[in-house]
Chain A
Amino acid sequence: RANDRELNLSYKYSVSTGVDYSFQTNVYMMCVCVYVVCMLYMFSCVYDNAIKTSKYNIFTFLPLNLFEQFQRLANAYFLFLLCLQSIPEVSSLPWYTTVVPLVLVLSMTMAKDGSDDMVSSTSTNYSIKTALFLILLSSSSRETNLKVKQALTVTGKLEDSVEKLANFNGEVRCEPPNNRLDKFTGTLTLKGETYSLDNERILLRGCTLRNTQWCFGLVIFGGPDTKLMQNCGRTTFKRTSIDRLMNVLVLSIFGFLMIMCLILAIGNGIWEYQEGSKFAAFLPKGVNAPFSAFLTFWSYVIILNTVVPISLYVSVEIIRLGNSFYINWDRKMYYPKNDTPAEARTTTLNEELGQIKYIFSDKTGTLTQNVMTFNKCSINGKAYGEKTEKVDFSWNNLADPKFCFHDNSLVEVVREGNPEVQAFFRLLSLCHTVMPEEKKEGELYYQAQSPDEGALVTAARNFGFVFRSRTPESITVVEMGELVTYELLAVLDFNNVRKRMSVIVRSPEGKLTLYCKGADTIIFERLNPSCSNLTEFAGEGLRTLALAYKDIDPEYMEDWKLRHHVANTAMDEREEKLDALYEEIEKGLLLLGSTAVEDKLQDGVPQTIEQLSKADIKIWVLTGDKQETAENIGYSCNMLREEMNEVFIVSKDMEIELLRTACMCQTVICCRVTPLQKAQVVELVKKYKQAVTLAIGDGANDVSMIKAAHIGVGISGQEGMQAVLSSDYSFAQFRYLQRLLLVHGRWSYLRMCKFLRYFFYKNFTFTFVHFWYGFFCGFSAQTVFDEWFITLFNLVYTALPVLSLSLFDQDVNDWWSFQYPQLYTPGQLNQYFSKRAFVYTVLHSGYSSLVLFFIPWAAMYDTVRDDGKEIVDYQSFALLAQTCLLIAVSIQLGLDTHYWTAMNQFFLWGSLSVYFAVIFTMYSNGMFLTLTSSFPFIGTARNSLNQPNVWLTMLLTSVLCVLPVVAYRFLRILLWPTINDKVRGRGSTHLSLVRQDKVLPPTPRRVQARRTSTRRSGYAFSHAQGYGDLVTSGKFLRRTPKSRPALFSQTDSPLAQTQPQFYRTISEREEPPLSP
C-alpha cells in the first residue's frame, strides 16, 4: 500500500500497519530519516500518526480518574463514610463535612494526575523524536561511531534512491519484544531469499547516529515494545520507609478508632439503658439500647474519622513535590559545563534521601570523569612527565590545543630525533582503532572507542606523530611534519581477555612491524626475555600501559596471514582460532616503554566521600574494573588509606559471609562485578541489613543496581541516558550527592517527620475532644465543634501553616549541614518519626485534648455572660472549644517551627485571621437568612467573643497546652542536647557572621596519604571490543561521501563536550556573584 502512496519526505512520517504479534510484518512503508533520527512508529490505528502513551483523553478523564482514585484505600474509606452519612439515623455530621474535603482532595489529585498525564504525553512526544528501532537498510556510514551498525548488503544496495526504497517489498520475522539490548534475532525474506538479522543491523531506540549522514530503516518495534522501554519499565514501585511506617500506623489508627467508637457505643448502650429510656418522653427514639449503641458506633466512626485524615495523603504528596522542586531548582547542583540541573525524577522518595545508610557507587564516569589524560610516560627506562612547566606545542601546527603536558624534556628528545622516543610515539599513532575526522585542513577530530585510546593518540599527535587518516589498508601519519603512509596488514583487536591490541604494518621502506600495547602485566609475559626495564608509575593512581614492538619476517607473515584468513572465515570456533593465532604472533616483543594515563577523579569526590562517611554513610564501590584499578581509585578517593588492612573475598556462594565481612569493613570495593551482580549486592544489603540504600551510576551497566536500590541516582550527561532514565534523581557530578543527601535529604526527612508528628498531633487532639464530650452528651455522637469547623479545620484553618512548616523549615542551614555531617545520622536511625515518636505524639494529644475540653468545660460551667444571659449554650461552647483548639495547635506549630520565614508568619497569622473572618461570616445574619439550616450558629461569635471569660479561658488552655512542652524541650536541650541542638546553638552565635558570608565553608581536610609500596596499574580498555573488524573490513570507506550540508556543526554540539579526546580543565565555571 505504501507503494501506492505518495512518498512523503518529511521527518515525521508514520507507519501504519496492523501489527499482529506473530511478528509477521509486511513492509508497508519505507521511512526516510535524514541525518539525525526520525520518528517512526507502528501503530495499530491506521490513520493516526501520533503515539498515545497518555492514559486519558478529555472524555474518559473524569470517570477513569475517579475510578482510579476510589481504588485507593483512603478515598474509598471516605466514600464509605459518605454513604454512612446518608443514613439519617447514623449521620452525626451533615454531608458537607465529608464531601467538601473529599471533593477538594479528589480534584487536587485529579489536577495532579491530569498534569502528570499531560507531561508524560508531551515527554513521550519528545522522546519519539529520538525513538527508533529499525533495521538498517542502507546507510552512508562514512566513519564509525561508538557502536558499528551496518546494513545488510542486500538492502545496502538500495542506497538512497527513493524509487528503489518505495519498491522494496520484503518480510521480517523476528523475536518478540524483549529487554536484551545486545541481542536480536530475526530474518528478512526478500524475493524468496532469507537473510539473518542480528544486533548489527538494528538501531535501538535512544541511540544517536553519529558520522552518518543518512540512513533508511524499517521500524520493527515502537513505543513500549522497544528494547529501551522494555528495559526501563520500572519493575517495582518504590516506597519510602516512612510510607511503610505510615501504612502500619494508619492501620493501627483504624484499630484505635474502632476501639474508641466501641467504648463510646458501649457507653451509649449503658446510658440508653439507664437514662435514655426515662428521657424518652422528651425524645422518643423507638429503638432499644443495643440497637442505639450499634447506630452510635457508626455515628462515632463518622465523627472521629479525623484521626485518619484524608488530607494527610494529599499533604504528603504536596510536601514531597515541593521538596523535589527544591532539588530541581538548586543552583548548587547545577552543572554549568553541560547545562545540567539536578533533577528529581521521582517525587515520592524525598524523605528517604535523609535516611541513606549505604551508598553503592559505580566507578568509571561516576567517581571519575571518564576523561583520560596522558600524564607520564617512560621511554627506554627514562621517565618523563614530572610536573614542571607546561609544554608549548606551537611548533606543531597539527597539535591539539587542549592537550597539556608538563615536561619539556620529552619534546626536546622527540625533536632531537631520538629513535626510541620516536618509535614510542609512532606506535601510539599507529596502534589503535581511532577514527579521524578532518573537517577542515588541519582540524582533526578523533573518534575513539575508549577514552584512553583517544588520549594516547592525541598525545602522539602533539608530539609530532599525527595520525591523519586511515583506509582499510593503510594508515597515514604525519611524522614530524612528514607525510608517511603505512600499509596496514592486520589489526589484532582488543578484547577483555587479551587486554592488548596489536597492529601489523608495513612501513614505506617495506619493513614489517608488529606494534602492541596492552596491560603491563600482559605485555611483560610476552616480552623478549632479554628486556626488562620498565619504570613503574607506582603510587599515583595512574593506569599504566606498556608498549612493545616486534619486527616480523615477511615470509612468516605471509604464512600467518594465510592462516589468519582461514581462521577468520572459519564457521566454528572462529574466536578461539583467531586468539590462538594472535597469541602466536604476539610473542618475543621488545619493550618500548610505558605510558600512564589518568582517569581523573571528578571534582570534589574525595571531599564528598569524606563528608558522607562522616555522616556515617557506608560507601561501597562496585566496579567492573579489575582490582588494581579499583584500588587506585579507592586510594585517590580517600576511601582506602595506608593503615587499612585488606580483606579479599574471592569465592562465590558466600553471601552472608561476604555481607558480614563487608559490613565490618570501613570501605568496600567490589571489583569485576557484572551489572547483575551489582544488583545482587544491593539486594543482599537490602535484605539483611534493613537499611536504606542508594545506588549511583552513570551507565547502562548500573541500571539494574539503580533499580534495585531504594533510591537510584543517575549521573547525567556522560554515558548516555539509560542510567538517568531508570534513576530517581539525576545530576551531573558525583559531588552533588553530598548536597542531595546532607542538605535536601536531611531537610526533606526532617520536614516530613515534623509534618507527620504535627499532623497526627493536631488531628488526634481534635478528635479526642469529641471523645471526652461523649461522656457529657449521653454518648449521642454530638460534635463539640461547629460542623463547618470540622469541615474546614484540616483543609483551611491549619492546612497552609503546616504546609509552610514542611516546605520551609530548616533546623540549621545548608552551611551548617555541611559543617556537621553528623546531623545526618538521626535520619538513618529513624529518630524523628517512628512508632515510639507516634506514641508520644498520641499521648501529647491526649493531654492537650484533656486541657482543651475540660478547662473550657469547667470555666464555663454554670456561669453566665456579664449581662446575665446565656453563655453555656451548646453553640457558644462549640465556638469556645474550637477557638481554644485552633489557638493551641497554632502555637504548637509555632513551637515546632525552627525557621520562621515571612511565609510561615503570613500563613500562620493569615490562617488565624481567616478563621475569625470565616466564623464571623458564617455566624452572620445574612448567611443564616439565606441558608438557614446550614448556618444555625447565627450571632454566636458576636455574643461570645466579647466576653472576657471566653478569652481568659483561651489564654489558660493555651498556657497549659504549651508551657509543659516548652519546659520539656528546654530541659531536654539542657540535659541531653542532640547534635542538632548543639549545632543550632552554635549556629545562633555565629549567625551574624554567616549572614555576612565571612565564614567560609571549611575545606575538608584532604588526606594526601597515598601508598607507594605497591605497584598499581591497570589497563583501561575494559569496555567492549574495539573496531578492529571494521577498520579492516573496508566497508565503511566504500565511497566518498556525498556532500550534504551538515545539519549541525559538531563543535557546537553538546556531544562534542563528551567526546573523550578533548582535554578539559576541570575547574568549574565560577558562578557570578549572587545578586542581593
Chain B
Amino acid sequence: MGKAKANAGPLARRPDNSAFKQQRLPAWSPMLTAQTVLPFFYGMAIVCVLLGVWLLVTVQNTHELKVDYTHAGSCDKCFEKRKDRANANQSCNCTVVFNIENTFKGDVFFYYGLINFHQNLRQYMDSRDDGQMIGRNKNLKNPSYYCEPFIKDKNGLPIAPCGAVANSMFNDSFTLMYHSAAGSRVVPLFRKGITWYTDKNVKFRNPQVENKTLTLAQVFEGTGQPLYWQKPVYDLDPWDRNNNGFINEDLIVWMREAAFPNFKKLYGVLNRAIEPFTDGLPAGNYSVLISYNFPVEYFQGRKEVVLSTVSWFGGQNNFLPVAYLVTGCLILLLAVILTAVWWKFGKNGRNMKE
C-alpha cells in the first residue's frame, strides 16, 4: 500500500514492525489433549448428575394437581350449551369435584389451563395495540391497524382493548371450595399480584385524563367492548374498582401470550393468612365452582384447573432434572469410551508420529 510516511529514507516503505501487522500477537493456543478433555468430561458428568439429582429432589417436593373440566362433572351441560353461539349471553355454572391426597405445603397457585389454544399464531399475536393499553388517548379512540378485524364494533366505536388477543380473553371464573369435616368453605384466593411487576406498572395503564374525578367508565366513554366480552373493560372486576380497565390483572395475564398451544395461566394465589390454609392446601375433598363461559369445542381444545406449589426451580417440570441425569450419564459413558480409546491409541502418542 506504500503509504507515504514521515521518514522518507532508504527504508521509507518498510512495514511497521508491530505484532499486529506481523501477525505475531501473543495468543493462547489450546489443544484438545487427553489431559484437558478427559478431566473436563468427567467433571461435566459429575456436575450434570449432581445437578440432576438435586433438581429431581427439588421437583419431587412440589405438588401439582390438574383437573380437566372441559366436560367433567356437571360441566358437560355447559360444554353442550357453549357449542351454540346463540347461548353466549346465558350464564352457565357447574362444579367439578376432586380430592387432594397430600397436603400442598407452602404457597399454592391456582391456574387455569388451555389445551390446543394457539395464542402463538402470528396474526393472532400481532392483533393487539400496546399503545392503547399503555393508556395513550390517541390509540384509545383510534386503535392501531394491527388490531384488524377487532378495531371497531358494530356501532363503529373503537374497541378497547382492541385486537384478537384481548377479544378472546379467557372468561371462566372459579370458586375453589374445601370440603372438610367442619363443613364446606371457600378457599380464599388472592386475585391480585398474579402479573409481572413490569406489566402491571409499566406496560398496562389506564388512559390518562386531566380530570381526576372522572370514573373509569367515563374515561372509556366512546369506546366499545370487545365483541366476545360480556362486560366492558372498566367493569371486569366488580369487587375491586382499582382492578379495572387495562390494568385488570386477568386481562394482563391473558395478554402475555403463551409460546405454545398448551399453556396454563395464573388465576389466583392461596391466601395463607386464613386457617386452615396457613400451611397450604390441606389434604381432603375440594370442588371448583365454575362459571363456564369460554368455548373450547370449536378448536377441539380443553380446559383445566391446575393447583400447584413451586420451588426455587419453578413449577413441577421433571424434564430438566431427568435431562440432566441422562446427559450426565451419557457424558460419563462418553468419557469412559474416550479414556479407553486414549489408553489404547493415544497414550503413547503413536498416532501423532509421522
A959 to B49, CA, bound (A): 13
A340 to B1, CA, bound (A): 10
Whether B238 sits at the interface, judged by CB under 8 Å, is no
A953 to B295, CA, bound (A): 35
Whether B222 sits at the interface, judged by CB under 8 Å, is no
Residues 278-314 of A at the B interface (beta carbon under 8 Å): 278-279, 281-286, 299
- Asked if A977 contacts B15 (CB within 8 A), the reply is no
- Asked if A873 contacts B269 (CB within 8 A), the reply is no
Q: Which 7 A-B pairs have the closest CB atoms?
A: A939-B198, A877-B259, A329-B21, A868-B109, A863-B317, A974-B346, A864-B315
The listed residue (B262, B312, B331) touching A963 by CB distance below 8 A is B331
Q: Closest Cβ of chain A: how far from B84's Cβ, in Å?
A: 13
- Asked if A870 contacts B25 (CB within 8 A), the reply is no
> Which chain B positions have C-beta within 8 A of A463?
none
Contact sample, A vs B, 19 pairs, CB 8 Å cutoff: A278-B299, A281-B295, A283-B168, A336-B10, A863-B316, A865-B310, A869-B195, A870-B256, A872-B258, A876-B259, A900-B28, A948-B314, A949-B317, A956-B320, A959-B327, A967-B334, A969-B32, A970-B37, A988-B29
> Which chain B positions have C-beta within 8 A of A124?
none
Q: Taking beta carbons and an 8 Å cutoff, which residues of B are in contact with A?
A: 1-2, 10-17, 21-34, 37, 40-41, 44, 48, 51, 55, 107, 109, 111, 116, 118-125, 127, 130-131, 134, 136, 144, 146, 149, 164, 167-168, 194-199, 202-203, 253, 256-266, 269, 295, 298-300, 308, 310-317, 319-320, 323-324, 327, 331, 334, 338, 341-342, 345-346, 349, 351-354
> Which chain A positions have C-beta within 8 A of B26?
901-902
- Asked if B259 contacts A781 (CB within 8 A), the reply is no
- Asked if A777 contacts B310 (CB within 8 A), the reply is no
- Asked if A974 contacts B345 (CB within 8 A), the reply is yes
A868 to B195, CA, bound (A): 10
- Asked if A947 contacts B118 (CB within 8 A), the reply is no
- Asked if B131 contacts A328 (CB within 8 A), the reply is no
Whether A602 sits at the interface, judged by CB under 8 Å, is no
> Which chain B positions have C-beta within 8 A of A904?
27
Q: Closest Cβ of chain B: how far from A779's Cβ, in Å?
A: 9
A281 to B345, CA, bound (A): 66
Known contacts being A862-B264, A866-B313, is A974 close to B351, with CB within 8 Å? yes
Whether A129 sits at the interface, judged by CB under 8 Å, is no
A984 to B130, CA, bound (A): 57
A20 to B328, CA, bound (A): 83
A925 to B201, CA, bound (A): 10
The listed residue (A860, A936, A984) touching B29 by CB distance below 8 A is A984
> Which chain B positions have C-beta within 8 A of A330?
15, 21-23
- Asked if A863 contacts B315 (CB within 8 A), the reply is yes
Across the interface, name the chain A residue whose C-beta is closest to B66: A862
- Asked if A868 contacts B15 (CB within 8 A), the reply is no
Having A782-B125, A939-B199, A956-B324, one finds 16 other A-B pairs with CB under 8 Å, namely A92-B122, A275-B118, A329-B16, A330-B15, A780-B124, A814-B23, A861-B317, A864-B109, A866-B313, A867-B310, A874-B125, A938-B198, A949-B317, A952-B320, A953-B320, A959-B48
> Which chain A positions have C-beta within 8 A of B23?
326, 330, 747, 808, 810, 814
- Asked if B261 contacts A776 (CB within 8 A), the reply is yes
Complex interface bits, A867-909 against B, C-beta within 8 A gives 1, otherwise 0: 1111111111110000000000000000000111111100000
> Which chain A positions have C-beta within 8 A of B194?
868-869
Across the interface, name the chain A residue whose C-beta is closest to B132: A932
The listed residue (A747, A867, A932, A949) touching B320 by CB distance below 8 A is A949
A553 to B353, CA, bound (A): 79
> Which chain B positions have C-beta within 8 A of A402?
none
> Which chain B positions have C-beta within 8 A of A329?
15-16, 21-22
- Asked if A339 contacts B27 (CB within 8 A), the reply is no
Known contacts being A862-B315, A874-B120, A928-B203, is A952 close to B51, with CB within 8 Å? yes
> Which chain B positions have C-beta within 8 A of A92?
122
The listed residue (B1, B111, B167, B264) touching A325 by CB distance below 8 A is B1
A258 to B298, CA, bound (A): 33
> Which chain B positions have C-beta within 8 A of A857?
260
Whether A100 sits at the interface, judged by CB under 8 Å, is no
> Which chain B positions have C-beta within 8 A of A331?
14-15, 17, 21-22
- Asked if A929 contacts B260 (CB within 8 A), the reply is no
- Asked if A988 contacts B27 (CB within 8 A), the reply is no
- Asked if B320 contacts A808 (CB within 8 A), the reply is no
> Which chain B positions have C-beta within 8 A of A110?
none
Complex interface bits, A308-346 against B, C-beta within 8 A gives 1, otherwise 0: 000000000000000001101111101010011101000
Whether A659 sits at the interface, judged by CB under 8 Å, is no
The listed residue (B13, B24, B203, B351) touching A938 by CB distance below 8 A is B203
Residues 583-634 of A at the B interface (beta carbon under 8 Å): none
- Asked if A870 contacts B22 (CB within 8 A), the reply is no
> Which chain A positions have C-beta within 8 A of B31?
984-985, 988
> Which chain B positions have C-beta within 8 A of A975?
341, 345-346, 351
- Asked if B312 contacts A866 (CB within 8 A), the reply is yes
> Which chain A positions have C-beta within 8 A of B349?
985
The listed residue (A928, A938, A985) touching B352 by CB distance below 8 A is A985
Known contacts being A859-B323, A970-B32, is A932 close to B315, with CB within 8 Å? no
> Which chain B positions have C-beta within 8 A of A985?
31, 33, 349, 352
A898 to B327, CA, bound (A): 27
Across the interface, name the chain A residue whose C-beta is closest to B55: A952
Instruction: Select the residue from B37, B256, B258, B353 with max chain A CB neighbours within 10 A.
Output: B256
- Asked if A967 contacts B199 (CB within 8 A), the reply is no
- Asked if B261 contacts A939 (CB within 8 A), the reply is no
- Asked if B312 contacts A279 (CB within 8 A), the reply is no
- Asked if A339 contacts B338 (CB within 8 A), the reply is no
> Which chain A positions have C-beta within 8 A of B312?
866, 948
- Asked if A898 contacts B310 (CB within 8 A), the reply is no
Instruction: Select the residue from B109, B259, B352 with max chain A CB neighbours within 10 A.
Output: B259
- Asked if A900 contacts B27 (CB within 8 A), the reply is yes
- Asked if B131 contacts A281 (CB within 8 A), the reply is no
Across the interface, name the chain A residue whose C-beta is closest to B312: A866
The listed residue (A341, A814, A903) touching B13 by CB distance below 8 A is A341
- Asked if B338 contacts A334 (CB within 8 A), the reply is no
- Asked if A859 contacts B317 (CB within 8 A), the reply is yes
Q: Closest Cβ of chain B: how far from A72's Cβ, in Å?
A: 26
Known contacts being A341-B14, A778-B118, A973-B32, is A925 close to B123, with CB within 8 Å? no
> Which chain B positions have C-beta within 8 A of A862?
262-264, 315, 317
A275 to B353, CA, bound (A): 63
The listed residue (A283, A813, A860, A991) touching B124 by CB distance below 8 A is A283
A873 to B345, CA, bound (A): 50
The listed residue (B17, B41, B119, B269) touching A1075 by CB distance below 8 A is B17
Whether A971 sits at the interface, judged by CB under 8 Å, is yes
A1026 to B40, CA, bound (A): 76
Known contacts being A279-B298, A781-B122, A866-B311, is A929 close to B134, with CB within 8 Å? yes
Q: Closest Cβ of chain A: how far from B56's Cβ, in Å?
A: 13
- Asked if B14 contacts A780 (CB within 8 A), the reply is no
Whether A960 sits at the interface, judged by CB under 8 Å, is yes
- Asked if A864 contacts B310 (CB within 8 A), the reply is yes
Known contacts being A938-B203, A970-B32, is A336 close to B308, with CB within 8 Å? no
Whether A933 sits at the interface, judged by CB under 8 Å, is yes
Whether A1056 sits at the interface, judged by CB under 8 Å, is no
> Which chain B positions have C-beta within 8 A of A326?
21, 23
> Which chain B positions have C-beta within 8 A of A901?
25-27
Whether A858 sits at the interface, judged by CB under 8 Å, is yes
Whether A981 sits at the interface, judged by CB under 8 Å, is yes
Known contacts being A334-B14, A863-B315, A948-B313, is A874 close to B122, with CB within 8 Å? no
> Which chain B positions have C-beta within 8 A of A285?
123
A943 to B317, CA, bound (A): 19
> Which chain A positions have C-beta within 8 A of B107?
868
The listed residue (B25, B263, B338) touching A967 by CB distance below 8 A is B338
Whether A239 sits at the interface, judged by CB under 8 Å, is no
- Asked if A899 contacts B125 (CB within 8 A), the reply is no
A868 to B193, CA, bound (A): 10
A318 to B90, CA, bound (A): 68
Residues 957-1001 of A at the B interface (beta carbon under 8 Å): 959-960, 963, 966-967, 969-971, 973-977, 981-982, 984-988, 991
